[in-house]
Amino acid sequence: MSDVIRLLPDSVANQIAAGEVIQRPASVIKELVENAVDAGATDIRIVVKDAGKTMIQVIDNGCGMTETDARMAFERHATSKIRSADDLFALTTMGFRGEALPSICAISEVEVKTRTEDSPMGTRLLIEGSRVMTQEPVMCERGTVFTVKRLFFNVPARRKFLKSDNVELSNIMREFERLALINNKIRLHIDTGTREIDLRAGTLKQRIADIWKNSINMQLLPVNVDTSLVKIEGFVSRPEFARRRNPLQFFFVNGRHMRHPYFHKGVLSCFENLIASDTQPCYFIKFTVDPQTIDVNIHPTKNEIKFEYEQQIWPILTATIKAALGKFSAVPSIDFDTDALPIRPLKEGEIPSAPEIEVSRDYNPFKTDSYRPERVEKNWESLYDSFKRETHKENSGFFGGRVGTEFPKSSPEPSFASTFRDGINSDAGDEKTFSSLSDQAGASVLQFEEDLKREVAPLCMQYAEKYIISPSQEGLLVIDQHRAHVKVLYEEYLRMVKAMKVVSQGVMFPETITLDENQRSALGEIEEELKRMGFALEYESGESWSITAVPSMLKNVNPGDIILRILDSVTEESANYGKEKVGEDSILERIALIMARSSAIRRGRKLTSLEMEHLMGELFALPDPGLTPSGNRIFCLLDEQKIDRMFGI
């Protein structure tokens, strides 16, 4: 058998590596900007065309490269950041693997113009698919200009899986935000063709305010602690500004962005009992640790980082955040501008007196001129007939109204009714007779209520103000009231949309919302679907839009919150699955689901028996009542066997 193992050519190896390092146009921007930061740049400009598919250009004023370095930079595993394996444990630069530039040039056309400060001429290098096409001297400014064209031109399968321009542009802006927060002391400028942002060099708080121009800096509390193990600085949002959607949450360590679920859980634990369970705080937290105590060489993207002392850093982080919340009294403020109660102040020496109430001991309601015996008899007969109709209802399983022992149809009238009627028809209208009848009627009413409680049991009950418990022929039903209502409303909204029965209701006072780049892109994609659901938005100025109409079926909800949740949800779904899978039906279903979740009854709300019975009736009238649109269970059934096993029977 002949030898079958071959050494891959460098061009093929670079394309394989590019699959991990360069996933989309945003990855190119990340790698090139990090190289510019390592080169000591103080001003970085980014130009993007067609969401990076046609061109990405990064211009910096860093130290530049010599002619030899410019050629060597595109060789695999060529780097100026480390010299030995020991340097991996003392990294102070963003890059070190020597894979980014070879990976970029393996899947695109790259042009580089670079010049060092002490060199009169720069170098121009043109590379296409890992092949150096030309290298020549050129006049240029100090620094480096990277131009990447036709991304994935020689890997059509990868290019085919790129998402729509709006989605890729959203990913570019998210990456730019992370880079801008890390490098707040560097001036950054980006031009996407549809949006241009110029960020000045400044403090972290200034950078946050420049990126999110919606007074977020007024919502932040400073976090700062410096220990021998770690230095923590940054900001967390006040509890009253916690978000239900799209919270701004960023962790950085030694100038590098990271994802860390363990520390994220620590931040959330500090806000327990301060914010609603379905909201999360915003935070911008930077860690500074000894480089030898972290490992960044886990994944080529360098977003996953291991801490040697994460167990010890946890209490420092939580204590610092809790101290900030306590120090700045981060609780909902009290409005002292409201008018005081109109209470007359006491004069000097005046003693407050209790109000005087006059009670007539001779008053008898049965002796008044408005008393009519026929009225009393008629009212009582009506009450008694209502009682008989209620108790004669048959038990019909789930939705029969009430369950109980059926009252015999030939049941005699209660004795107090005939006695009371006889007393009315007689001429004994003296005070003694009426007083006796009144006492007897009062006692009989109490007995009537006790009989009603004993003989007629409610169909269902509520537990912990979250679950509805009801008996059935199959066993004991435990229903999540919130999920059940979400399912009912979701199906109702979709049914109305498909039947073209959605009624749009104008808003007397239009609500203004502020949309960022991602949300505006999402709005352009689903504007027609929003109109079909009954929403109407009008552009005002800048980043502001006003909501002029909402669906009439929405009750007691904030339309602005629903619109923002819809836009964020569509953006997230597009980023995960691409535009080809986000069709019209999918968008309508997503909008209907968000509307249902916003309008549904919440866990913690007390329901009456009638409300619970109505909700159960609506739920089990659906063809698929067991699961929510997201696939979560709505109810569980405890049959007799399960209950017996609980008791060991």
Residue 509: CB partners within 8 Å, gap ≥ 6? Answer: none
Instruction: Return d(Cα 188, Cα 172) in angstroms, integer.
Output: 14
User: How many CB atoms lie under 10 A from the CB of residue 617?
Assistant: 12
290 located within any domain? yes
Q: For residue 556, what are the domain limits?
A: 476-620
Of the residues 429, 457, 485, the one at which a domain ends: 457
Name the pLDDT band for 94 (thresholds 50, 70, 90). Answer: low
pTM of the model: 0.59
468 located within any domain? no
Q: How many structural domains is the chain composed of?
A: 4
Q: Lowest-pLDDT range, 94-103, 144-153, 312-321, 373-382?
A: 373-382
Q: Report the DSSP beta bridge partners of residue 241.
A: none
The domain that holds 605 is classified in CATH as 3.30.1370.100
Residue entry with tokens 């002619």: 67
Same structural domain for residues 97 and 240? no
Same structural domain for residues 298 and 283? yes
Q: Looking at residues 545-573, what average pLDDT do you find?
A: 82
pLDDT at residue 400, rounded to an integer: 37
Name the pLDDT band for 163 (thresholds 50, 70, 90). Answer: confident
Token couple for 553:
């079926």
Of the residues 262, 296, 327, the one at which a domain ends: 327
User: What 3-state class would DSSP assign to 283?
Assistant: strand
Instruction: Return d(Cα 104, Cα 273) in angstroms, integer.
Output: 48
Whether 135 has a pLDDT exceeding 60, the answer reads yes
Same structural domain for residues 275 and 166? no
Instruction: Tell me the pLDDT tens digit for each residue of 246-305.
Output: 789 999 998 888 888 999 999 999 998 888 887 899 999 999 998 888 887 665 555 678
pLDDT at residue 14, rounded to an integer: 58
State the amino acid at position 287 in one-letter form.
F
Instruction: Tell me the pLDDT tens digit for each residue of 350-398.
Output: 665 555 656 666 666 555 554 455 544 555 455 455 555 544 444 333 3
User: How many CB atoms lie under 10 A from the CB of residue 271?
Assistant: 21
Instruction: Return d(Cα 367, Cα 624) in angstroms, integer.
Output: 62
Instruction: Tell me the pLDDT tens digit for each residue of 44-84.
Output: 999 999 999 999 999 999 999 999 888 888 886 666 655 55
529 located within any domain? yes
Instruction: Tell me the pLDDT tens digit for each residue of 177-191.
Output: 999 999 999 999 999
344 located within any domain? no
pLDDT at residue 391, rounded to an integer: 47
Q: What is the DSSP annotation of 365-420? A: GGGSTT--HHHHHHHHHHHHHHHHHHHTPPP-TTSSSEEEPPPPTTPPPPHHHHHH
Which is it for strands 122-128 and 109-115: parallel, antiparallel or unpaired? antiparallel
The domain that holds 117 is classified in CATH as 3.30.565.10
Which has the higher per-residue pLDDT, 374 or 312?
A: 312
352 located within any domain? no
Q: Report the DSSP beta bridge partners of residue 226.
A: 231
Buried b (16+ CB within 10 A) or exposed e, 14-33: bbebbeebbbbbbbbbbbbb
Of the residues 393, 428, 457, the one at which a domain ends: 457
603 located within any domain? yes
Instruction: Tell me the pLDDT tens digit for each residue of 501-531.
Output: 888 888 888 888 888 777 787 888 888 888 8
